[in-house]
Structure 1
């Protein structure tokens, strides 16, 4: 646990008692603060009270008297589409609003560090797609390099649940826009921006607000190194803002769309080869084509971002290359779950938006595509560029018929995962890929993308065993 510093003796309100909220309450108590907790869910209140925390209805008049700070869980909107009433009450009372990420950065460094030969480092990763794979890959690289490392944030443990860092340790954080938009303290040593595509637009009042939330990790954080994907205008804008000029190697530009040139520091992938250039000269190259855990251009982008972050903390190219080949990938992200009869079965349930699904489709040919779910804003137009890779779509979800009508491919309305897998497997031929890449959220039928992916795995496994 990371005990919270700077709030000893203070009463601190905690709104939302899920994983991050309870973790924040424990860390506040460990640092000498007095957490005052609230959640509208009585079961969540009971869990907090079972741990000895006081629950106080923060909606009541006068609840913020003597409160030093309000800590908010990431799922609670603080500005758009409308402010949560508790947050509005905190504003009215002049109480600062923060989250567990802000508490983490406020409390990470301690006086013990003066005994370390090498100060611990934080690598924080944000962006629309690829964050989890990039973080897991960076963490894996550190393990292969025999550098102590912990993985936290949206992946692994809560940020305040990790152990105090060791000498030379690297902490890798996956941070969503919900987390970066509110944290009062953001001070990573290396900040990574993977890419940007429309997502969570209602929460951020459009693309401008969504990008602004991501940008805070860089503009507010002032990292020593910034690894920035520049395949979208927003990435190019951000790289330009962070750089003092063409030779400023504090910014490492990353691309899978073009060869990057110039006197700065660049990492890019073309035709399956990753290249690192510095001062206009190539200094390293990695063949990604045989890396089983990183298939497709979208995973090559993840590889470039992870490579650049690892280089920023001094890991040698050959060590990174060795780590790539031993990386197994993450569940529900281009995860090959079986191969039988010449057919490959791939679980990419994490492809919850159109852009990530298009990247998953671009990684394979002869696809039997299982898609559908709770559709997000923006339609499915971005999928048309990869439609020629799809032999047939098998559509699930409560609105499967409506989703199928938008596709430019032969589509069968299946409704359920069971029916979709059965139909796809019955028609699959040697050389085909049965791919779950929903291009939609899971919440119409499942409580998470993980449960959806697990159902796909279970249905495939059941039928393979019965054959």
Structure 2
């Protein structure tokens, strides 16, 4: 646990009592504060009380006396599409509003570090797509190289649930736009921006607000090193805003689409080969094509970002390459779950939007594509340029018929359920085909989350193939 600093002897309200909320309350208490917990759900309040916390009704007119700060869970809106009424009340009362990420950064360093020869560091990863894989990959490379490391944030543990860092340890955080948007402190040593595509637009008031939330990771704290994907205009802009000159090697530009040899420091992948360049010279190269845990150009971008981040932490190319080769990938993200009879079955249930589905559709040569769910605004018309490898689409969920209309002449079948889609795709697949779950839609019509959707797909594949797996 990371005890929260700066609130000793003060009352701090905690709104939202899920995993991060309860961890926040515990960390506040460990730091000497008095946490006052509240959640609209009676069940959540009961869990908090069972854990020994005091529930304090923030809806009462007299609830805000002597409250030093309000700490909110990331899922609670503070501005768009409309601020939560309790957050609005706190702001009107002049009570500072923060989240667990802000508390983490203000509390991470301690006096114990005075005895360290190597101080701990924080790598923070944000972006629209690939941030989970990039975060896990950085953590895996560090671990495989023998460096002490922990991983948290939007993946794995809550940030305040981490152990106090050891000497030289690297904490790797995945941070969503919900987390970066409100945090009052953002001071990573290395900050990574993977890419940007439209998502969560209602929460941020449009694409500009969404990008601004991501940009705060770089603008607020001024990381020592910024690793920035420049395959979209926003990344090009962000790199240009931070760098003081073309040769400024505090900014490491990464790309999976083009050569970047004219900058102070860059890492890029072309035709499956990763190259690192410094001041106009290539200093390292590695073949990514046979790395099973990193299929496709989108994963090659993740590899470039992880390479840049770990190189900036002092790892040697051979150490990073070994970590890349041993990385098995993350569940639900281009995860190969089975191969039988020359057919590969890939679970990319995390591909919940058009941009992430497009990347998955470019990763394999012959695809039997399982898509659908609760479609997002704009449908899947943006995928038309990426359907060349699709042999047939098997459509499920609420948006199946809408997707069928948008696919036009692409061979397709409305299956409605995952069970039927997997059975039909497996029956029709031929050697060389990939049966790919890349829904391009949310899961909430049939599943509580994308993880459960991916787990169901995997279970059906295993059951379908039986002993052939």
TM-score by length of 1: 0.99
Q: Deviations over 1:204-259 (max 9, x none)?
A: 01100000000000000210000000011100100011111111100000011110
Q: Could you say which residue in structure 2 is the equivalent of 1:411?
A: 412
In 2: Cα distance, 1:290 partner to 1:426 partner: 28
User: Which residue is equivalent to 1:426?
Assistant: 427
Over 6 Å off, 4+ runs: none
Aligned equivalents of 2:167 and 2:284: distance in 1? 29
User: C-alpha deviations, 1:146-191, integer Å up to 9, x for none?
Assistant: 1000000011110000100000000000000000000000000000
Q: Give the structure 2 partner of residue 42 of structure 1.
A: 42
Whether the 8 Å contact between 2:126 and 2:192 is mirrored in structure 1 is: yes
User: What is the 5 A alignment of 1:51-62?
Assistant: 51-62=51-62
Q: CA 1:307–1:196 in 2, change beyond 3 Å: closer, same or farther?
A: same
Q: Deviations over 1:425-444 (max 9, x none)?
A: 11111111100000111111
Instruction: Name the residue aligned to 2:452.
Output: 451
In structure 1, distance between residues paired with 2:288 and 2:250: 25
The answer as to 2:377 corresponding to 1:395 is: no
Q: CA–CA distance in 1 between the matches of 2:118 and 2:156?
A: 24
1:351-379 Cα shifts (integer Å, max 9, x gaps): 01110001001000111100001111233
> Is 1:346 matched up with 2:346?
yes
Instruction: Report SS of the residue matched to 1:268.
Output: strand
2:276 alignment partner, SS class = strand
Determine if contact 2:375/2:398 at 8 Å carries over to the other structure.
Answer: no
Q: How far did 1:407 drift?
A: 1.6
Task: Look up the match of 1:329.
Answer: 329
Q: Once the 2 structures are TM-superposed, how far is the Cα of residue 381 of structure 1 from its aligned partner?
A: 2.5
Counterparts of 2:213 and 2:39, CA distance in 1: 25
Instruction: Determine helix, strand or coil for the equivalent of 1:444.
Output: coil
CA contact 2:261–2:278 (8 Å) conserved in 1: no
Contact 2:263-2:278 at 8 Å conserved across structures: yes
CA distance in 2, matches of 1:253, 1:415: 43
Q: Deviations 1:246-281 (Å, cap 9, x if unpaired)?
A: 111000000111101214100000000000000110
Hey, what's the Cα distance between the residues in 2 that align with 1:371 and 1:323? 32
SS at match of 1:152: strand
Question: Greater CA deviation, 260-269 or 26-35?
Answer: 260-269
State the 1:122 CA deviation. 0.1
Does residue 257 (structure 1) correspond to residue 267 (structure 2)? The answer is no
* CA drift at 1:466: 7.5
Whole-angstrom distance in 2 between the partners of 1:22 and 1:404: 44
Q: Deviations over 1:383-411 (max 9, x none)?
A: 11111100111111123112221124222
Query: Equivalents in 2 of 1:263, 1:425: separation in Å?
Result: 47
Question: Matched residues in 1 for 2:276 and 2:258: separation?
Answer: 13
CA distance in 2, matches of 1:366, 1:236: 33
2:396, 2:211 → 1: CA distance?
31
Q: Quote the residue 1:371 is aligned against.
A: 371
Distance (Å, rounded) in 1 between the aligned partners of 2:263 and 2:464: 55
Residue in structure 1 matched with residue 316 of structure 2 by the alignment? 316
- Provide structure 2 residue ranges, at least 5 long, that are not aligned to the other structure: none
Q: Which residue of 2 aligns with 1:129?
A: 129
- Counterparts of 1:42 and 1:316 in 2: how far apart (Å)? 52
- Conserved? CA contact 1:59–1:89, under 8 Å: no
Tell me the residue number matched to 1:280.
Answer: 280
1:16 equivalent in structure 2: 16
Q: Pick closer, same or farther for the CA change 1:59–1:340 going to 2, 3 Å.
A: same
Q: Is the contact between residue 147 and residue 169 of structure 1 (CA under 8 Å) also seen in structure 2?
A: yes
Tell me the distance in 1 between the aligned counterparts of 2:26 and 2:15: 14
1:194: how far off?
0.1
Give the match for residue 216 of structure 1: 216
Instruction: Tell me the secondary structure at the aligned position of residue 236 of structure 2.
Output: helix
For residues 56 and 416 of structure 1, what CA distance do their matches in structure 2 show?
44
Contact 1:153 / 1:159 at 8 angstroms: preserved in 2? yes
Confirm or deny: 8 A CA contact 2:286 2:321 kept in the other structure.
yes
Partner secondary structure for residue 117 of structure 2 = coil
Unaligned runs of 5+ in 1: none
Rounded Cα–Cα distance in structure 2 between residues aligned with 1:331 and 1:247? 38
Distance 2:17 2:328 in 1: 33
Alpha-carbon distance, 1:45 to partner: 0.3
**1:307-361 Cα deviation digits (max 9, x unpaired):** 0000111011111001111111111111111111111100000101110001001
State yes or no: 1:357 paired with 2:357: yes
- C-alpha distance in structure 2 between counterparts of 1:401 and 1:149, whole Å: 46
1:49-102 CA-to-partner distances (Å, cap 9, x unmatched) read 001111122122121111000000000000000000000100111000000000
**1:112-123 correspondence to structure 2 within 5 Å:** 112-123=112-123
Task: Tell me which residue corresponds to 1:152.
Answer: 152
* Two-structure CA RMSD over aligned residues (Å): 0.9
